């Protein structure tokens, strides 16, 4: 395992509230609301406009992605990411804090945390407990829009944190990386359908992958579990944190929870398969897809 000084992946609601209260938000500290919800459920942008952490900007993951890709949430180009976050007032010297409003505590925030890291930015943290606990603890909110001054951000893709379809396919034979899937057990097994997905997308998993549902990394109150508890979860699934690891899910979002949990255990080098099951189901040979469903391969 790589031994290095790791930037704090989590900040507390108290720390952020103190930073807001003492006027520390600005070019050196930016806050992003990265909420996203399934169509027809909640309107993330509308909720942001109604109330958000004072000074926070809205990070629209629908805009900051490869909109030309046939897959769901693929990374944008270096130039597109740099331009997008620069307009949010973020430079390479900015400490970025990301949260979302999901009832679980965090859902999309770890994806944005990983996006910054994969584009070479290390000073990024997730708000532990999310907006759910920010509200519960009575911290201030506002409806005032944020108008940060544009900054210059230089993005440099760190390919060690990103895996492609071809690399995961090769790994089925080489087995150089452990492959861990963060979806629910039913979707992993193929006994439950993929939610709000293209109806042609069946459920199941990549042959040889292990299952660690991302919800298990969070407490009932929506906070990240302790490093000791997270290590125990990895050990229980026989995932060796001293060895290379690829995280996958349906569209490269909750896989980032695996990367975050491993980071909190001192492992900063987990790679995410960006296309994940959404791409794998459409491209991979049928014998590499495992499902207990009626249309799958047992």
Measured distance CA(9)–CA(125) in Å, rounded: 4
Backbone angles phi, psi at 161, to 5 degrees: -100, 5
Identify the three-state secondary structure at position 11.
strand
Residues 6+ apart with CB under 8 A from 207: 172, 287, 288, 289, 290
Tell me phi and psi for residue 181, to 5 degrees: -105, 130
3-state DSSP: the chain helix, strand, coil percent, rounded to 5? 30, 15, 55
The pair of structure tokens assigned to 127 is 């708000």
The catalytic residue positions are 249
Please state, in angstroms and rounded to a whole number, the distance separating the CA atoms of residues 189 and 209: 11
Contact 219, 153 (CB under 8 A): no
Are the CB atoms for 278 and 71 separated by under 8 Å? Answer: yes
Terminal-residue alpha carbon distance, the chain = 35
């Amino acid at each position: 395992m790589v031994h290095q000084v790791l930037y704090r992946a989590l900040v507390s609601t108290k720390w952020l509230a103190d930073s807001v209260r003492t006027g520390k938000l600005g070019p050196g500290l930016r806050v992003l609301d990265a909420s996203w919800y399934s169509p027809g459920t909640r309107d993330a942008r509308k909720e942001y406009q109604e109330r958000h952490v004072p000074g926070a900007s809205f990070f629209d993951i629908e805009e900051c992605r490869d909109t030309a890709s046939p897959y769901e949430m693929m990374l944008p180009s270096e130039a597109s990411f740099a331009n997008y976050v620069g307009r949010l007032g973020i430079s390479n010297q900015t400490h970025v804090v990301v949260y979302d409003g999901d009832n679980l505590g965090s859902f999309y925030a770890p994806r944005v945390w990983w996006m910054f890291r994969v584009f070479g930015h290390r000073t990024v943290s997730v708000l532990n407990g999310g907006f759910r606990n920010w509200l519960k603890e009575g911290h201030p909110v506002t409806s005032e829009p944020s108008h940060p001054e544009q900054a210059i951000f230089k993005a440099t893709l760190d390919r060690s944190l990103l895996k492609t379809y071809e690399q995961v396919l090769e790994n089925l034979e080489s087995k150089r990386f452990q492959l861990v899937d963060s979806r629910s057990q039913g979707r992993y097994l193929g006994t439950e359908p993929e939610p709000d997905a293209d109806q042609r997308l069946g459920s199941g998993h990549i042959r040889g992958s292990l299952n660690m549902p991302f919800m298990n990394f969070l407490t009932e109150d929506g906070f990240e579990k302790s490093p000791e508890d997270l290590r125990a979860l990895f050990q229980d699934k026989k995932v060796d944190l001293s060895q290379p690891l690829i995280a996958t899910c349906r569209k490269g979002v909750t896989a980032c929870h695996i990367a975050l949990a491993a980071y909190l255990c001192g492992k900063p080098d987990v790679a995410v398969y960006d296309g994940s099951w959404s791409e794998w189901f459409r491209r991979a040979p049928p014998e590499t897809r495992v499902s207990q469903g009626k249309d799958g391969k047992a």
